[in-house]
Every structure is written in C-alpha cells, then in structure tokens.
Structure 1
C-alpha cells in the first residue's frame, strides 16, 4: 500500500499529459505534444516518469503516417486503487476501486442511532479497515458525506439525519491511515462521479440530483464542481415549493424534500387504512402491482420534483439533469411526470427540452463519486 500523498503525480505538466491520455488514449507522445502545446522533450521526460510509476503504459503500436510507427500510450488503470466511502444516514459503505472506477472490494457498517461524533468516526475507520486488507496500492480515500461539508478542512459541519456537527473526518482519517483524504457532500460527489463515469458524453454543464432520505444536488460548470461561496451550493431540498406546506426539519414550510424524499412519500400513505407503516420502497412495489392510489402519490412527487427542476433550469440552465438515489428507482412513475412538468413550465422551448434521465451507476453512484474526488486531483489541471 502506498502511504502518504500522491503529489508526485500532481505537477501541472503531468496533469495535462495524464488527462490527455485518459481522455484520448491510446495516443502517441507526438500527438500529445501537438495538442497540448508542450514541447516533445517535456512530454517524453514526463511520460518516462509516469511509466516508471506504472500509471502510464505503452499499448499497441499506432498507424504510420509516413515515418516510423508511433508507440501509443494508455492509462494503466490497475496501477493504483482508491477507497471510496458513502457515509449515509443509515450505514457507511466503502469500496476499493481502480482508476477506471472498477470496484474490487466492498464493506458496509450499519450506524447504530443515536450516535455521537466519536462513535461515527470509529465506525468509519472500521469500515475503511475492512477494505484496506488488500494487496492493492491505495493512494487515497474519498468520503462522500451527507449534509453540509467544509471542503477545505474536510469537516462535516452538519449531518442533519445523524444529528451530528463538526466531525473532523479528514483530520481523523489522515492520522489513522496516512493517506490523502478528500471529503465532499454526497450529492456533489455523485455529480462528479456521473460526469466522469456516467457515459454522458462531452458536457459543459450538468446537474445531478440525489433523492433519498433527503435531496441534494451537485452542479458541474465548465467541467468543474461548483461549491458556492460557503460550500452549500446544491442544497435544493430546502427550496420552497409551497409557502403554506408541511414544516420541514429545517424549520421552513413547503421545502422540496417534504414532497419527494423517501420519508415524505411514506408519510403520504399513512392516512390510508394500513395496518403497518410502509416505506417508499413498499409504496413503489405496490404501485407496480397495480395500486393506483400509490401510483398517484409517486406521480405527484414527480410533479413537485419537476417544479423544483424547472426552477433550477431557469437559474443555471444545465445541459443535462441526472437523477440518483433510492427514490429514482421509481422512475416508471416519477420520470414521465418530471419531464412533462418541465415541458409545461419552462420559459422557452429549448429549456423545456433539457434532458432528464436516471443515473446508470445505480446504488454505486455516490461511491464512484467518492473515488472521483481523488481522480480529479490526479488527472485534472487546476
């Protein structure tokens, strides 16, 4: 296991070259030099170092255009691994994945509530330790944490579903494991993972929305994750939809998450003649089996989500919106209603045609996003 940081990979020229190979490989040294405006000697010396570190390797020889056939370069995705953590409100899930996002090992620890900061940190360490029992060289840990995160210090400022505040995740994990640690809000991490691994093509802007026990979003602008001035960009769950609506846990009325989250959907069926309380998953299952009342509840949640997304389209106008999280599994009922609501409500025909789809990364979307927090530092030029 590689201990410490990976600053050896993070010089400007190395980042330019690595990102070029990641995006366009197999690619020759000469083509890298032409398209990045770096000199051939600079490319050659940096490639040599990257090959010595085994993150870049030579592939099959390319096609000749009149001279000697060039040797092509690709990323060695198995060179190193990254630990990704999804610190949700009910459990902590960890993976070890390679540089291409392929999951190699998993672990999960249930959170026993109520819980304090020390117990949360202990559970987090235990989950990470289980996946660290591997022969792979780990270069860092990415943690996707629900709630408000101070990114620079890696501190969970407020985790509402756990009732916790000021958890020094980065500090504690770096002391415990001697690895580079990045901490990010879970929805923003998911957005980054979608942008890198969701097969969405070349996009300048994208909004990813995580709908589960709460609602959060991550916004990609010009290929970069947007945080806002105080790290709360994306807290769309507390967008007001109804001034006279249900009181949200934040104290305001009619927040989006009082309409669309799993708990909100479950609350909507408590007024029916039920012997046992249902979860949102139960509601979806019964809707699939023909319960028209429950289908209507899901569709109404989709309408509220469509109103919220229309507001966001009018503000940031993303090229694409991607939905993830447990509630997105009810896409049969909610997605057509979301799309129709946007079509009916958006100001212009172009805005009404904003692409909205459900993540293809499934339950791993946030975990993949967590490992991407480290990949951005390796491959992207700041």
Structure 2
C-alpha cells in the first residue's frame, strides 16, 4: 500500500480500496479496514461512493462472522474496461476486458476488419481509457517495424488510431514482451526472466528486477536478426535440417544465459521436439554451470492477454495515485 501525503484524500482512499480489491478479489468491510488502515466509517463511505458509480458490487449471500452477516465486496465485472488487440497479419483478436478480469467482448476476425470493429467498441464502451496492441515487431509511434532482416525494414501503421480520442492512452507493445510479463505473474519469487520464442523467428521478452526491459529503441531481445555463420539466426531456424536447428537453438540459449543470467527461461513455439529441447537445455546448463530453470509453454496467446491485463492494472493504478 502507498505511504504518501495525498493531495486529495478522497481519491487516495478510493485508490487504496481498489488496489486492495484487485489483490484479493473480494473482502468484507472489516477486512478492508484492517488491511488498508482506513476506519470502518471511511470504508463504508468509500464503498457506497464506488457502488454509486457501479465500480463495486456485493458478492452473493453475506457470510456469517461472529453470528452477524458480513457482506463481501468486489470490483464490478464491467469496471474500468480496456481494449486489447492481439495483432496478426491475417487474423487478429480483439478483446474488451474489465479491471476485474472479466472478458466483456472477444472477437477473432480478419485483420482488415478490425478498424470498424474497434471504432464501434469504443463507442459502445465509453469508459475505455486504454488500448493495448500486441505486435510481432518493434513498436514505433502508432505502429511497428518488421522484416526478415535489418535491410528489409517495413513499417505497419494503425490508421484507426488517428480517430481515437486523445483522452485514451495507447500502448503498442511487442508480443513477446507481453508474454514475458504474463508469465512473470505465475512466478512471484522470480526477479529475472526471459521469454524465448523459436517459432517463425527468434525473439525474447526480457524481465529484469520484475520490470520489462526493452532497451533504448525497443530493439532488446531481437536475437533473430543476429548473424550466425553467414546467415541471420531466423534463416537458420527455418532450415529443414534438425541438427542445424538444434545447433542454432543451443547457441541462442547459451547467448541468453551468459548475457542475461536469468533465473528462468520460458520457451514457446519451439521447432524442436519437447524431448530434444529438454536435452539441449540440460546440456547448456551443464556447460555454462548455470542453475537457471528452463520451462516449456504452449500458452502464448493466454500469456499475451495476461501481460496486457497486468499492464492495464499498473497503468490504471499509476494514473490514480498520481491524481491522489
């Protein structure tokens, strides 16, 4: 919980209460008072104000505490929605999700259709204050860079963003960075994590001290563009020769391990069998005296949404604390 001298005590207490409900899902007035330090009277007043704004609701039947019914309170399922676009060149997923974690809308559609759908959703959900876009490239203003090598630099631009109100924040984030942030939520004790993809190209999402690291120009982690024995790594990954693919994956694992020394490496979309990647991982750890944990995952889509949700929560709370 925050410990500052608030500019606006009402907003400060409101954020304190919301932050607590985000951490525990639901609670009674007594529990909120105990954990936040607010008096029962203040808690009651703040809860009523939030219920009037349909930000908080009561949860089911009251629980009995000391022989008396005690209502539990939670964030409303529609409170503070954000818009998430999981971009793909052919198809994209568009999701509206509330701060409570409830999906209000989910549509998978052809990418050329998303502009009209997004504008309609922004009209439907006027409370949206944040748009997050996961992209398979290097974020730039209102778009991203992509290409198979450094010479083939292409730019994709989201034209619909010119129609978005200036009151709505927009974040364009590399998809693997969101995956890394999403996986991080599963491991509260992990401070340093790298999310590695060996799918169509090699890329990483890097977490240092539980914070996303993207570097000066957001190029951090674009390992597939490195030259390896005369070709960029992405080209080696597409070879039909399993031995060559295994060699380049071993090289990338050693490179990441020695440069970043993470506690955990998460591998997704690997073009080797699960058994082969496990063997390579064990060999790498032995060769470089590493104790890092290497985990395989098949949950990239869920990881991106989880990362976007955590980003939305952080942005919402940071904005609220600034106002308070």
Task: Mark yes or no: TM-score above 0.5.
Answer: yes
Higher relative contact order (CA 8 A, sep 6+): 1
User: What is residue 184 of structure 2 aligned with on the other side?
Assistant: 195
CA distance 1:217–1:333, shift in 2 (3 Å): same
Deviation at 1:211, TM superposition (A): 3.5
The CA deviation at 1:186 is 1.8
Structure 2 stretches of 5 or more lacking a match? 1-10
Structure 2 residue 100 is the aligned partner of structure 1 residue 156:
no
**Displacement of 1:143:** 0.6
Please report the RMSD computed on the Cα atoms of aligned residues, expressed in angstroms.
3.9
C-alpha distance in 2, partners of 1:311/1:333?
21
Q: State how 1:220-259 maps to structure 2 within 5 Å.
A: 220-239=207-226, 242=228, 245-248=229-232, 255=233, 257-259=234-236
2:306 pairs with 1:305: no
CA distance in 2, matches of 1:222, 1:170: 35
Per-residue deviation, residues 260-300 of structure 1 (Å, max 9, x unmatched): xxxx32xx22xxxxxxxxxxxxxxxxxxxxxxxx6x44xx5
State whether structure 2 residue 149 is matched by structure 1 residue 165. no
Q: Which residue matches 1:109?
A: 110
CA contact (8 A) 1:156 1:167 kept: yes
Structure 1 segments unaligned to the other structure (5+ residues): 1-10, 111-121, 249-254, 270-293
Structure 1 residues 133, 22: closer, same or farther in 2, change over 3 A? closer
Counterpart in 2 of 1:53?
53
Pairwise CA distance, 1:219: 2.4
**Aligned positions, number:** 303
CA contact (8 A) 2:175 2:304 kept: yes
Q: Is the 8 A contact 1:87 1:143 kept in 2?
A: yes
Residue 25 (structure 1) aligns with: 25
Aligned position for 1:356:
294
User: 1:373 & 1:169 partners in 2: Cα distance?
Assistant: 23
Equivalent residues in 2 for 1:295-374, closer than 5 Å: 296-297=242-243, 301-324=245-268, 327-328=269-270, 331-347=273-289, 351-352=290-291, 354-374=292-312
Aligned partners of 2:212, 2:255: CA distance in 1, in Å?
20
Aligned pairs (5 A) from 1:82-93: 82-88=82-88, 90-93=89-92
Residue of structure 2 equivalent to 1:209: 196
Maintained 8 Å contact 2:144/2:155: yes
Change (3 A) 1:82 1:315: same
Q: Deviations over 1:129-155 (max 9, x none)?
A: 57x3996666242111222224xxx43
Compute the displacement of 1:85 (Å): 1.3
Contact 1:85–1:92, Cα closer than 8 Å, also in 2: no
Partner of 1:98: 97
Cα shift at 1:42: 5.5
2:314 pairs with 1:376: yes
Q: Secondary structure at the match of 1:328?
A: coil
**Partner in structure 2 of residue 277 of structure 1:** none
Alpha-carbon distance in 1 for matches of 2:261, 2:170:
32
Shift of 1:93: 0.5
Does the CA-based 8 Å contact 1:30-1:40 persist in structure 2? yes
How far does the alpha carbon of each residue in 1:193-218 deviate from its partner, in whole angstroms, 9 at most, with x for none?
A: 3334xx44554343222343323222
In structure 2, the residue matched to 1:144 is: 134
User: Is 1:184 matched with 2:173?
Assistant: yes
Residues 30-87 of structure 1: CA distance to partner in whole angstroms, max 9, x if unpaired? 43444345566665544444333333323254563x6956433323334454332122
